[in-house]
Chain A
Amino acid sequence: MMKNDNIDRLLRSAAQAGDESPVEMPFGFDTRVVALWRAAGSKANGVAQLLRRVAVLSAVMIVISTIAAVREANQSREIRESLTNEFAIADSAIQDEFLK
């Protein structure tokens, strides 16, 4: 059976081995990273700009539709009111005729 002490000894020994290979940045790595970052940034900006345009256009369409609907509703109410008045005038004229 393996004891806890065995794991400790193994880990102590492994820690002493370390990592000997040098850390060297590959040639052109920094330039590549910065270029990719900028490209990703402009791509994200492009998408954000497109979304913003769609949102603004949608808002404009909603406003125009609302104004048109309100205007249409007002016009039909005016027509209905004017017809009601005409009916009332005709009605009172007929009643006057009968009373004569």
Chain B
Amino acid sequence: MDDSDPGALVKAALQNDDDAARALVRRLYPLVAKIVRSHRPRRTPEEDLCQMIFIKVFQKLSQFSGNVPLEHWVSRVAVNTCLNQIESERVRPEVRHADLSVEEQAVIEKLATSSEELAPDQQLASRQLVEHLLAALKPVERLAIDLLYLQGRTVEEIRKITGWSAALVKVRAFRARQKMKKQLAEIWAKEK
């Protein structure tokens, strides 16, 4: 069988071909793992969430029409599963100054005191700081920021992945940015 043809793999998997089903898992794992890493709730291990997503994908496989690429369809299942999982945990920790590393605090200071771009050696700390800030947002807002700014996807791509309208993508990103801005201001006020 041609492992590069997802349509053929789906058809074979639905006809109880376990080799084809395994080949599908191997093919889709990098995509699913990447989504899980971006949207994983804090208390669910990455592997468990990947497994949950794949089971869902296989259970709904007969509903895959083939009108959209398999990767898009799987992305949507993965994103929705992550959002549901985050929602079920209902934990949105407040970002406290004491929770931040020295490097993250330095990033905040640089942002507040200078208008220059952050230095390349501050990229990792920036990422960690953003992840701290994102953890306090609603899952949908977290997703909007991650897809739009961290992964650099277009509004059209996000619309396809999430099923939201273009206006909703922009509104959610705007609200998320406002909340992040407020959080940063509060941390900076405490730091001073």
Contacts and interface: CB of A to CB of B under 8 A. Distances in A.
B174 to A, nearest CB: 10
A18 B117 CA distance: 17
B29 A7 contact: no
A17 B29 contact: no
A6 B112 contact: yes
Q: How would you classify the secondary structure of chain B's contact residues: helix, strand, loop or mixed?
A: helix
Interface in B3-61: 18, 21-22, 25-26, 29-30, 33-34, 37-38, 47, 50-51, 54-55, 58-59
Among A29, A31, A38, chain B packs the most CB atoms within 10 A around the CB of A29
A7 B129 CA distance: 11
A2 B55 contact: no
A44 B66 CA distance: 25
B22 A17 contact: no
Interface in A33-48: 33-34, 36-38, 40-41
Interface in A1-27: 1-7, 9-19, 23, 25-26
Given A7-B177, A10-B111, A11-B150, A40 B55 contact: yes
Interface in B172-192: 177, 180-181, 184-185, 188
Given A15-B150, A34-B25, A40-B59, A2 B188 contact: yes
Interface in B75-118: 107, 111-112, 115, 117-118
A100 interface: no
A86 interface: no
A97 interface: no
B185 A30 contact: no
Contact of B184 (A2, A36, A40): A2
Interface of A: 1-7, 9-19, 23, 25-26, 29-34, 36-38, 40-41
